[in-house]
Structure 1
Amino acid sequence: MDSNKGFRLSAEANTYNSALRIIKSKGYKIFLYPDQSDDLYGTYWAIKENRDFIAEDPLQLLGIITIWETNGDKWSGPNHENIRDKIASNAFPDSVADIEKLSEEDFEVLVKDYTIFLNRIFPKQVIPVNPTRQAFFDVISNFYKWDLEQFYEWEK
């Protein structure tokens, strides 16, 4: 695999077979427990020895198997840092005051990380170089509302 070449993969139904093949290659037996409702497909079960893993789709199933294989029966792991809340608070700051609370080092890391992320979405730089905390807040709190087509007008 060429790490210099761009690549993107999203969680879609066309990745389900790949996930199921990986689960099967790990020695799990896989079953589908049909749902009583015609609206729902059912739940996927992966069974190996005395371990059962249950999820609504193969990607979730592979995810929880990986969590268990990494952390064992104490699946939540030794470090109980709430990463999900930290990611959410970065994505949805209430005000520029939330950004101002960050140390200079933490702010620089956040700007660098979001520059990488937003450069994957937009064809041009949207975070100014050395942004003020207000300028950074303005971008972070609005980028998902922008019309992407305005950024691709050069293609027309």
Structure 2
Amino acid sequence: MMNMKIRIAGNTASPCYFAIKAKGYQVEIFSYLESEKENEWSFDYNATKDDLFFSATSPEELLGLISMWETRGDNWRANEKEADEYWDITCNIPMYDRDGNLIENK
């Protein structure tokens, strides 16, 4: 039984922001008006520390990039084997229609 369940939602942005700050990063947030008519905005979140720079469109994504680099280091990019394996994984996942029914013949 899983006791901890977290999914990205409106209540995850600020904890991720403060987790990044706790790791010693400076965080800058920029907003850009996408559509005056619809009053739509987009955001960029940048984190810097020493000679490191990370950029994403949400604090959750930003923390994910930082975590990836902390785990994998300067060789963070997927090698050919990893890229192929990830491709195979994503090509073989179950697919569902809008009503949640499994699509048998994909």
Could you say which TM-score interval applies, normalised by the shorter chain?
0.7 to 0.9
Q: Which residue of 1 aligns with 2:32?
A: 35
Name the residue aligned to 1:19.
16
Pick closer, same or farther for the CA change 1:80–1:35 going to 2, 3 Å. Answer: farther
Moved more, 50-59 or 37-46: 37-46
State the match for 1:90 in structure 2.
92
Percent identical residues: 29
* Separation in structure 1 between the aligned mates of residue 80 and residue 21 of structure 2, nearest angstrom: 29
Q: RCO greater where, 1 or 2, for CA within 8 Å and sep 6 or more?
A: 2
Amino acid across the alignment from 2:87? D
Query: What is the CA RMSD across the aligned residues, in angstroms?
Result: 2.4
Deviates more, 1:73-82 or 1:22-31: 73-82
Q: How many residues align?
A: 95
CA distance in 1, matches of 2:46, 2:66: 11
CA contact (8 A) 1:44 1:61 kept: yes
Structure 1: where are the runs of 5+ without partners? 92-139, 149-156
Q: Secondary structure at the match of 2:47?
A: strand
What is residue 123 of structure 1 aligned with on the other side? Answer: none
- More strand per residue: 2
Deviations 1:94-141 (A, max 9, x none): xxxxxxxxxxxxxxxxxxxxxxxxxxxxxxxxxxxxxxxxxxxxxx45
TM-score normalised to structure 2 length? 0.72
How many Å apart are 1:73 and its aligned residue? Answer: 2.0
Q: Higher Cα Rg: structure 1 or 2?
A: 1
What is the CA deviation profile of residues 18-50 of structure 1, one whole-angstrom value per residue up to 9, with x for unaligned ones? 111111110001110222435223200111011
Give, in whole Å, the separation in 1 of the partners of 2:11 and 2:28. Answer: 19
